[in-house]
Amino acid sequence: MEKVSESKRLKRNAAGFYPLLGQAIAMISPLGAVAATMTGAAGYALGSLPLAYVISIIGVLIWINTPYQFSKKINGAGGFYTFNSQGAGPRYGLIIGYMMWFSYFMVITNAILFTSGVFIPGTISYFLGISIGNYTWIPIMTAFLIIITIIAYLGIKPSLAYSFTASAIEIILLIITSIVIIVALGPKNTYVPFTTGPAHGFAGVGVGMVLAIFSMSGSSAVVTLGEEAKQPRKNIKKALLISFLITGVVFVLTSYALTVGWGINRMNKFAASSVPGLIVADKFLGLPFTILLFVFIINSLFAGSLAPLNTSSRMIFSMSRDGLGPSLFSRVHPKHKTPYIAIIIIAAVAYFISLIAGILIGPYDGFVYLVSASSAALFIGHILSNFGLTKTYMRLKAFKPTLHLIIPLIATIILLIAMYYSFNPPAYPVDYSIITAIVFIILTLIAVLIYAKKHPDKIKNAGKSDMLVQDELMEGKL
């Protein structure tokens, strides 16, 4: 039987259920999502923000069905690349692999720029009345990225231990904050935020729901830990589902608390504020707790940058190990068992892209540009994976119409709606984000098709290494 050499393997049995759960929640970045995405959703849903999050739970459940179903049968470091390569076909899988890699890579760039150039300066300006220098964000971002790179380099265990601890603390802080606000308001609590009244109809709630879905969608990145997970077919799908349930309930609770705490009829000003969550926390819990919250929001954004670095490095590692990417990315550190070359190069390139974007168009517009490019690739990659799921289960002769066709079709409709409201009208700098994502996708498509024509035997290797490792794992050899 053909085997993958030990020098090309990541650390085996390194992640049990709880570390995987931590990775899934860290990619969602609960406190970071409250600071960023929830504020954006409030701009549309207004005082009906909690209703948008309640409905979004159904949307996310539909969204994660695809990686959940895939992970029942296929696991590996390549994640969506391996899923689709081994199910829908090598060309299809390789194209999706690079699209999803691009999306996760761009999450690193926008997260480090938002933290250093938008969130930290905005908080200091509001609470201290101090405007830090125009380029102070650069050394902050530099230190930020160096630290996450070191953690990722040293092994998946320290990364996941950090992610799990950080995620648990974030969830606890959000629950405490929400309960204190709700209790303090007493009889002023109301069911109104769970109606469409404050949003003046369902249209605003619908757009807010789309953004709420996006804020909870990151958990699917955990699938790239298939090679390092204990009992991957059991634990990865379990981590996907549990992370969604935890964050979904907490986001509904938090969105309600912040809405009533700020004022149901004043939510238009909530969306316009740079740090509304901290303002509400300061009002109800005092400055010491707000400072603690500020520290852990940064920590959340830190973990939310580390998670995509781990994810993107493993995806490019998997593709390169199959001979379908730069060979140096397939190198594994002899001691730490990490794709260390991929980690270092991805971190360095992400840094320079964030730096250039921040300098050329400013940290905020740079963040919007980078996060929009990431979103476009993510949406398209998930849509194609929905179709890939149908083909995969038909090939495996385990096809179930509801799970493998109807739900993926509904997910595709949700994603198309999300794309429409996220990118229409294509105002600056989102218009350039769309162009960037489309150019990358077109170049990937052309490159894969040309390579497949010139090297038909090599393209067949897509996902092969992951499957060899998985087969040995299933046989108990790992």
Please write the tens of the pLDDT for every residue from 175-189.
999 999 999 999 999
What pTM, to 2 d.p., does this model score? 0.91
Inside any domain, residue 477: no
Q: How far apart are CA 338 and CA 12, in angstroms?
A: 11
pLDDT at site 475: 64
Low-confidence ranges of the chain (pLDDT < 50): 477-478
Task: Please count the structural domains in the chain.
Answer: 1
Q: What is the CATH number of the domain that holds 315?
A: 1.20.1740.10
Inside any domain, residue 294: yes
pLDDT at site 478: 47
Inside any domain, residue 159: yes
Distance of CA 145 to the CA centre of its chain: 17
pLDDT at site 282: 93
Domain coverage including residue 329: 6-469
pLDDT at site 466: 86
Two structure tokens written together for 395: 């090939």
| DSSP H or E stretch at residue 413 | helix 407-423
pLDDT at site 473: 67
Cis amide prior to 429 (ω within 30 degrees): yes
Q: How far apart are CA 271 and CA 49, in angstroms?
A: 11
Report the SS3 class of residue 229.
Answer: strand
Inside any domain, residue 475: no
Inside any domain, residue 253: yes
Inside any domain, residue 478: no
Tell me which amino acid residue 19 is.
P
Inside any domain, residue 476: no
pLDDT at site 454: 92
Count of other CB atoms within 10 angstroms of residue 5: 9
